[in-house]
C-alpha cells in the first residue's frame, strides 16, 4: 500500500478515535453527574480538593495576573498614545483581562498546575490498585475520588479567574497611574464607563466555569484511564496538559464568537 494511502488511513483512524473518545468523555461526565449527590454527602472531600486545586494554585495565578496586567498596561499605552487615546488605558486593560486573558491564561495555568496533579494522583491510585480496592469495598471510586476533584475544579476556576483579573487590573494601575502617570480618575472612570457587568464580566465568569469543567473532566478522565505503569501515568499527565490547553483555546473561540457577536448593547 502506498505511503499516502497509509497516511490517510492513519489520519482517518485518529479522527474516528478522537470522536469515540469524545463520546467516552460524555459518558464519563454522565457518570460523574450521576454520582454527584453521593459525592456531596461527603462535602469535606470536595472541600479538600478545592484546597489542593484552588488554594495551592493561588500563587501562580496571582503572580501571573499581576505580570500580565503590567505588560498589558505597557503595550496598551504604547499603542494608544499614537492616537492620543491614553486615557482609555484602564478600559483596555480591564476589558482584555476580564473578557479573555483571565479565563484563558488562568485556565491554561490551572490545567498545567492542578490538572496535571489530578491526573497524576488518580493515575497513581490506579497503578497501586487503590481504585480496585475501593471497588472491592463496594465504594464507587467515581463518587469518592473522581467527582470531588471534578467539582473542585469547576468551583475553583471562576474564583481564580476573578483574582487573576483583579490582580491584573492592579498591575495595570501600578504601571499606568504610578509609573506612566496617566490620570487616575481617567483610568478608573473610563474603565467603569466601558466595562459592563453584562456582557463583559458575566461572560468572563461563564467562560471560566466552562474552562474549569473542561480541564477537570479531561484531567480526571486521563487519570482514571491511565495505564497502571510509571510510563502510563506520565504520558497521561502530559496528555492532560496538552488536550486541556487545546480545548481551552478551541472553546474560547466558540464562546467568544457566540457571546460577543452583537455587542453594542
| Chain residues that interact with other proteins, rule: CB under 8 A | 44, 47-48, 50-51, 54-55, 58, 94, 98, 124-125, 128-130, 132-139, 155-156, 158-160, 162-163, 165-166, 169, 188, 191-193, 195-197, 200-201, 205, 264-265
* Minimum CB distance to other proteins, residue 5 (Å): 28
Exposure pattern of 136-156 as b/e (b: 16+ CB <10 Å)?
eeeebbbbbbbbbbbbbbbbb
* Minimum CB distance to other proteins, residue 3 (Å): 25
- Whose Cβ is closer to other proteins: residue 53's or residue 243's? 53
* Minimum CB distance to other proteins, residue 15 (Å): 26
* Minimum CB distance to other proteins, residue 98 (Å): 6
- Whose Cβ is closer to other proteins: residue 166's or residue 255's? 166
* Minimum CB distance to other proteins, residue 175 (Å): 17
Asked whether 61 and 163 are in contact (CB, 8 A), the reply is yes
* Minimum CB distance to other proteins, residue 52 (Å): 9
* Minimum CB distance to other proteins, residue 22 (Å): 26
Burial of 127 per CB tally in 10 Å (0-12, 13-18, 19+) = middle
Provide the grid cell at 156: 475553583
Per this entry, what is the length of the chain?
265
Provide the grid cell at 14: 485518529
- Whose Cβ is closer to other proteins: residue 57's or residue 244's? 57
Q: CA 208 to CA 102: how far, in whole Å?
A: 8
- Whose Cβ is closer to other proteins: residue 4's or residue 136's? 136
Provide the grid cell at 43: 462535602
- Whose Cβ is closer to other proteins: residue 54's or residue 115's? 54
- Whose Cβ is closer to other proteins: residue 130's or residue 234's? 130
- Whose Cβ is closer to other proteins: residue 55's or residue 79's? 55
Asked whether 149 and 219 are in contact (CB, 8 A), the reply is yes
Amino acid at each position: 500500500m502506498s505511503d499516502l494511502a497509509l497516511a490517510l488511513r492513519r489520519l482517518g483512524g485518529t479522527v474516528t478515535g478522537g470522536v469515540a473518545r469524545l463520546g467516552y468523555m460524555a459518558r464519563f461526565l454522565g457518570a460523574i453527574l450521576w454520582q454527584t449527590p453521593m459525592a456531596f454527602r461527603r462535602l469535606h472531600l470536595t472541600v479538600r480538593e478545592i484546597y489542593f486545586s484552588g488554594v495551592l494554585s493561588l500563587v501562580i495565578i496571582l503572580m501571573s495576573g499581576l505580570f500580565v496586567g503590567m505588560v498589558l498596561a505597557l503595550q496598551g499605552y504604547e499603542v494608544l498614545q499614537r492616537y492620543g487615546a491614553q486615557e482609555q488605558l484602564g478600559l483596555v486593560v480591564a476589558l482584555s483581562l476580564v473578557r479573555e486573558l483571565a479565563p484563558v491564561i488562568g485556565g491554561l495555568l490551572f490545567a498545567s498546575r492542578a490538572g496535571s496533579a489530578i491526573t497524576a494522583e488518580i493515575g497513581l491510585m490506579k497503578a497501586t490498585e487503590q481504585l480496585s480496592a475501593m471497588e472491592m469495598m463496594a465504594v464507587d471510586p467515581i463518587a469518592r475520588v473522581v467527582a470531588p476533584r471534578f467539582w473542585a475544579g469547576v468551583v475553583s476556576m471562576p474564583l481564580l479567574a476573578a483574582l487573576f483579573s483583579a490582580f491584573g487590573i492592579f498591575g495595570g494601575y501600578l504601571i499606568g497611574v504610578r509609573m506612566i502617570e496617566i490620570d487616575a480618575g481617567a483610568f478608573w472612570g473610563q474603565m467603569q464607563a466601558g466595562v459592563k457587568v453584562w456582557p463583559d464580566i458575566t461572560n468572563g465568569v461563564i467562560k471560566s466555569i466552562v474552562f474549569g469543567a473542561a480541564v477537570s473532566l479531561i484531567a480526571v478522565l486521563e487519570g482514571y484511564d491511565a495505564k497502571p505503569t510509571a510510563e502510563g501515568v506520565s504520558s497521561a499527565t502530559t496528555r492532560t496538559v496538552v488536550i486541556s490547553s487545546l480545548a481551552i483555546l478551541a472553546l474560547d473561540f466558540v464562546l467568544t464568537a457566540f457571546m460577543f457577536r452583537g455587542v453594542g448593547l
